[in-house]
Structure 1
Amino acid sequence: MARREWTFRGAGARRDAGRVRFRHRDEIWRDFPDLVPAVLFLDGITPDADVSRSVAVHTATALDRLGRGGESGMPEIQAWRRAFAAQGIRPTQYRCASESLLRRLRREGALPALHPLVDVCNAISVAYAVPVAAIDIDRVSGGLEVGYASGTETYVTFAGDVEHPDPREVIFADAGGYAHARRWTNRQSGRSAIRTGTTRALIVAEGLHETAGADVAKLLDALAEALREAWGVAPATAILTADRPAFDTAG
């Protein structure tokens, strides 16, 4: 099967206003062949949705699992620690998003309420121990690619400070030269974080562990159900592979 390939350019991004594109570059599939990504796109988000039932159910699942052993022993977390080490990142200094959330949940017994979309994504992330990123796609220039940084990209922190990723650090990069996540699943950018005015979001979940194929598919189903329940809209969804690496709402 022919692979769908495209490159991001500023002019093209202007012509394709409203189009949502996402992929992992070939180098990521080459270096992390066990990767299983799930992608969802949701239009029609509001900040007043009730996600309490979904959050409670998935948080309870995570707490039950934590009661049987700490997050560091979970195969999902161990796989991400190996991936971070392969990038030259100390996995106990910089933790993947799901490990950080699980540590907080174990210590505090609950996760903070931030925004209904973020809350449900965080709850499902801890239930499956898999990183889940929610991105305000209207704050992204063109499409998003996951790949190695050149070091020239611009990353905006939640505090508004500007950083530049280290060369060969795995980032989510757009056509405008912005990095929307640093250290792969470690730090999301404040530039495209979900906020009160967000109406369209791209959600990405990525697993690397042995049973990621089955687990990420279950996570995708659970997340799609939670989003339909909260906003009454069926999201567009996909599981990506090295042979079919691109998500594109243009079809």
Structure 2
Amino acid sequence: MQFSHSDTIWQVFPELLAGALHAGGIDADANVEEAIAGFSAIAEARLAETQEGEFPEIQAWRRGFSRMGLKPTQYRCASEALLRRFRQDHALPRLHPLIDLCNAISLAFAIPIAVFDAEMIVGDLEVRRAGGDETYLTFGGVSEHPEPNEVIFADGAGNAHARRWTNRQSGLSAVRPATRSVLIVAEALHASAGEDLERLVATVADALAHHWPAAPKTAMLSVESRHFEF
């Protein structure tokens, strides 16, 4: 299987950088509360100085959403949505240890992180413009069709595993208690994205190895290196 971005995405967003990890051996029994507390403290400290909308990581995604023709305060990237909720509630709901951990890391880095159940992906997964006939399954079990030209995560069977790029994932490949194999993707557009994503990928890889019997395969993607085989 392969994860990549389409040529069109690279043409419009040449500054894009991404980190990808694949790991097996995942279960829902790990205790990640101590790690979550540490990452949450980092986010609390940043938010004490300024709101998330002023973070360079978030501002870059807002500009990216505007370039996609979306109102950036109507459709927010996942990390901004998490930071907003965290700023208001000082906590996030618990869903699954891996999701909870990645959400906390996303808070600390202010970078969106997507976690997919790899067994629910058919063929290759590509970030590309939608044709409009792909199928997106909401968390409520409702099937939708993305708007034509909307940026989606699409697999070989025409399933949209995320809509509006980093805005919302699909219920189809959401991590569940039975999930064993995952693909994790983090993407950034800001000036220091290269250094920050290197640290983020190393952080996620260390967390996977510490909490699960996982030896993740990792990759850094850019306009010069566009594909991740997993």
Identity of aligned residues (%): 53
Q: CA deviation at 1:112?
A: 1.1
Residue of structure 1 equivalent to 2:195? 214
Pair 1:89-2:89 in alignment: no
Q: CA deviation at 1:190?
A: 0.3
**Alignment deviations for residues 45-86 of structure 1 (CA, whole Å, 9 cap, x no partner):** 011011112211111101110011000000000000011011
**Alignment deviations for residues 24-43 of structure 1 (CA, whole Å, 9 cap, x no partner):** 11111110011110000010
**Residue among 70, 80, 98 paired with 1:99:** 80
Question: How many residues are aligned here?
Answer: 230
Residue of structure 2 equivalent to 1:245? 226
Q: 1:167-206 counterparts in 2 under 5 A?
A: 167-206=148-187
Residue of structure 2 equivalent to 1:79? 60
Q: How far apart, CA to CA, are the structure 2 residues paired with 1:248 and 1:172?
A: 16
Q: How far apart, CA to CA, are the structure 2 residues paired with 1:30 and 1:54?
A: 38
Pair 1:119-2:139 in alignment: no
Q: Please tell me the residue identity of whatever aligns with 1:125.
A: S
Q: How far apart, CA to CA, are the structure 1 residues paired with 2:182 and 2:70?
A: 29
Q: CA deviation at 1:242?
A: 1.5
Residue of structure 2 equivalent to 1:45? 26
Q: Please tell me the residue identity of whatever aligns with 1:129.
A: A
Q: Please tell me the residue identity of whatever aligns with 1:230.
A: H
- Structure 1 counterpart SS, 2:205: helix
- Structure 2 counterpart SS, 1:57: helix
Residue of structure 2 equivalent to 1:55? 36
4+ aligned runs moved over 4 Å, structure 1: none
Q: How far apart, CA to CA, are the structure 2 residues paired with 1:173 and 1:85?
A: 21
Q: Structure 2: 5+ residue runs without aligned partners?
A: none
Asked whether the equivalents of residues 80 and 110 of structure 2 are also in contact (C-alpha less than 8 Å), the reply is yes
Asked whether the equivalents of residues 26 and 213 of structure 2 are also in contact (C-alpha less than 8 Å), the reply is no
Q: CA deviation at 1:143?
A: 1.3
Q: Please tell me the residue identity of whatever aligns with 2:180.
A: T
**Alignment deviations for residues 225-247 of structure 1 (CA, whole Å, 9 cap, x no partner):** 11111103221101012122110
Residue of structure 2 equivalent to 1:11? none
CA-based RMSD:
0.7
Asked whether the equivalents of residues 25 and 214 of structure 2 are also in contact (C-alpha less than 8 Å), the reply is yes
Asked whether the equivalents of residues 118 and 182 of structure 2 are also in contact (C-alpha less than 8 Å), the reply is yes
TM-score, scaled relative to structure 2: 0.98
Q: Please tell me the residue identity of whatever aligns with 1:141.
A: V
Q: How far apart, CA to CA, are the structure 2 residues paired with 1:89 and 1:78?
A: 14
- Structure 1 counterpart SS, 2:65: helix
- Structure 2 counterpart SS, 1:114: coil
Q: How far apart, CA to CA, are the structure 2 residues paired with 1:222 and 1:174?
A: 27
Q: How far apart, CA to CA, are the structure 1 residues paired with 2:149 and 2:126?
A: 14
TM-score, scaled relative to structure 1: 0.90
